[in-house]
Structure 1
Amino acid sequence: MRIRKFSAGILLAVALFSFSPLVSASKSVPKDVRYLLGMYYGNASVFLVRENKGNLEIAFHSDAEDKDFSFANIFPLKKVRFDSYTLKEDGPILSAEAPVHFERDTDGNGIVCKIGGKRFARNFFPGEGNKIYRVEVSGDYNALKEAARQADVPVKLQQGKAAKLVSVRAAVPSAKIALRYTGADTIFGIPLHDAADAFMDSEAANALQKASEKLAAYGYGLLIWEAYRPWYVSKLASDLMPKDKKNMLPLPDRGEDRNTGRTIDVSLYDLQTGEPVDMISDFDEVSVRQFPGFTGGTERQRNLRDLLVSVMQDAGFVQGKEEWWHFSYGDTKDWQHLNIPYEQIKTN
């Protein structure tokens, strides 16, 4: 018997094509339903309310080590009337039903989920219910900023290959540059730098252009949140962190992969409208929604996230383990941690 061989490119094309009907079929969720989605807790239990194929589901967290709910038990909800549902569990020995009812605040956000006779309170993610995550900045911002600019990069971080930095705007013309750390909409509430463009290694930028071309076939473009970051900016970020939260960021003596110019933080925007796509979480959101395998949110959000991942991986990028938006081009361990200020980068 002859075995037909398929090239990796053909197999990948088939895999990517499968995303098209998935994304198009997963429609936007009505606002009144979307406002119920999120995390609820109480009675020593935690669960998500999510949307899947137009219906609400409960993803019950049964393992404390399952940080992204990817192994959660799923229970569909059958709608009875507005904010009232029935949860039905079918098993090999017995079946059970329980009434489910949601309570909302004055803005329409679900704040309580009652299952049977038990009440579970909503735990809002950053950005939900007017909740914004901020850290209390440590020290004097201007003094720390100047000290970081004058600090010396550890010798061990200066070893390895040096990236040839190029303009992402020039290398990927369709990309939208929306650098979040140039503004106050971050966990710090203040800018970390004032870069007017994003930069990355030329080889990685070429790969990013390939990813951009593939995404265009689906009607999406790349939204650039962060790219190359000089070492002194990473040091400033670490120095601004309060002592009890230092472990949230890499320490300056270790550097971070953004210093190599081989990483990128990206999302999607709609090519037709030019507007950012409603993704499964915001950038730098400190919550379980940031994890690549997070199973909550809406079906469309999950499909869009997975489409982005598939296209980026096809272009040679490796997704970070902690953040769905963070990608490195290959292995960055053999690359120098650069400290070139943005205004001194020469891309010609």
Structure 2
Amino acid sequence: MKNIFILCLLLWPAMLPAQEIPLNKYGLPVISSVPLYEQQVKANSEMRLVRVNNIAIDVRYATKDNFTKTALYPFAAVWLRQPAYEALLRLQEYLEPIGLGLKIFDGYRPYRVTEKMWEIVPDDRYAANPKTGSGHNRGVAVDLTLIYLKTGKELPMPTPYDDFTEKAHHDYMDLDAEVIENRTLLRTLMEAHGFVALETEWWHYALKDAARFPLMDIGFEELK
């Protein structure tokens, strides 16, 4: 009985705020106010969204150069939950001695943006269904690739970012050996640092325990 009580105390900070999150039209708990987000962070520091500033970024959703042909973010920035960001920093540190680094295309994505994407690409192989939400909405999914630190050039990968074809799948093998090797390297490194691959997008990874982080719909301006 004592052990159960101790376990409840340990879990309480992460559990209590979730009970207060209002449900959206699909019955999903979505944090859409800054005070509620701050309440979560106060209860559990792992809930904090940290702005990426030590890893290269290329946020195409802040421009019209993306599959929606419209700017979805007001400015170029990447946020990730603290555990996800710290894992990527450890990976970046591991890569630096061999002249490689990371480049992030996207991290936290407000839920409203997921709704817009679904209107354009209603295919759950390539876009998250708003009825379930996305790891991006939870702040623990990341779209990224590998780069050469000296030049900033991306390592050859199967497709460009956000290519919605079978060539982007992890099991697509009609590729040059170097490309397959690079894709495998990225996956091996990400999995070794606690992430899980999305089989239909070589660039997309999420923390294994993504579901414990609530969905969020707070805009970049509010986070800034």
Measure, in 2, the Cα distance between the counterparts of 1:260 and 1:306. 26
Specify the SS of the correspondent of 1:282.
coil
Partner of residue 247, structure 1: 123
Deviation at 1:200, TM superposition (A): 0.4
CA shift, 1:333, in A, is 2.1
| Partner SS for 2:28 | helix
Q: Report what 1:229 is aligned to.
A: 109
Q: Which amino acid aligns with 2:98?
A: Y
Q: Deviations over 1:28-74 (max 9, x none)?
A: xxxxxxxxxxxxxxxxxxxxxxxxxxxxxxxxxxxxxxxxxxxxxxx
Q: Which residue type is aligned with residue 164 of structure 1?
A: R
What do residues 182-209 of structure 1 show as CA deviations (whole Å, max 9, x unaligned)?
2222222222222321000001100011
The Cα of 1:290 is off from its aligned counterpart by 0.7
Tell me whether 1:197 sits opposite 2:77 in the alignment. yes
Moved >6 Å (runs of 4+): none
Structure 2 counterpart of 1:291, from 169, 192, 208 = 169
- RMSD after superposition: 2.0
Q: CA deviation at 1:263?
A: 0.7
CA distance in 1, matches of 2:25, 2:143: 23
Q: Tell me which amino acid in the other structure corresponds to 2:83.
A: E
Asked whether 1:305 is paired with 2:183, we answer yes
Is residue 280 of structure 1 aligned with residue 164 of structure 2? Answer: no
**Structure with higher helix content:** 2
**C-alpha displacement of 1:342:** 0.7
Alignment of 1:158-169 (within 5 A): 158=30, 163-169=47-53
Larger Rg over CA atoms:
1
TM-score by length of 2: 0.76
Please name the residue that 1:259 is paired with.
137
Letter in 1 for 2:143: D
Give 3-state SS (helix, strand or coil) of 2:72's partner. coil
Which residue among 174, 189, 206 is the counterpart of 1:328? Answer: 206
Separation in 2 of the partners of 1:258 and 1:280? Answer: 22
Q: How many pairs does the alignment contain?
A: 186
User: Relative contact order (alpha carbons < 8 A, sep ≥ 6): 1 or 2 greater?
Assistant: 2
- Percent of aligned pairs with the same residue? 26
Structure number having the greater strand percentage: 1
Q: Is the 8 A contact 2:74 2:221 kept in 1?
A: no
Contact 1:211 1:314 in 2 (8 A): no
Per the normalisation by structure 1, the TM-score is 0.50
Cα separation, 2, equivalents of 1:270 and 1:153: 45
CA positional deviation for 1:253: 2.7
Equivalent residue letter for 1:286? F
The amino acid across from 2:28 in the alignment is K
Structure 2 matches for 1:200-211, cutoff 5 A? 200-211=80-91
Distance 1:232 1:186 in 2: 17
One-letter code aligned to 2:90: K
Alpha-carbon distance between aligned partners in 2 of 1:283 and 1:179, rounded to the nearest angstrom? 11
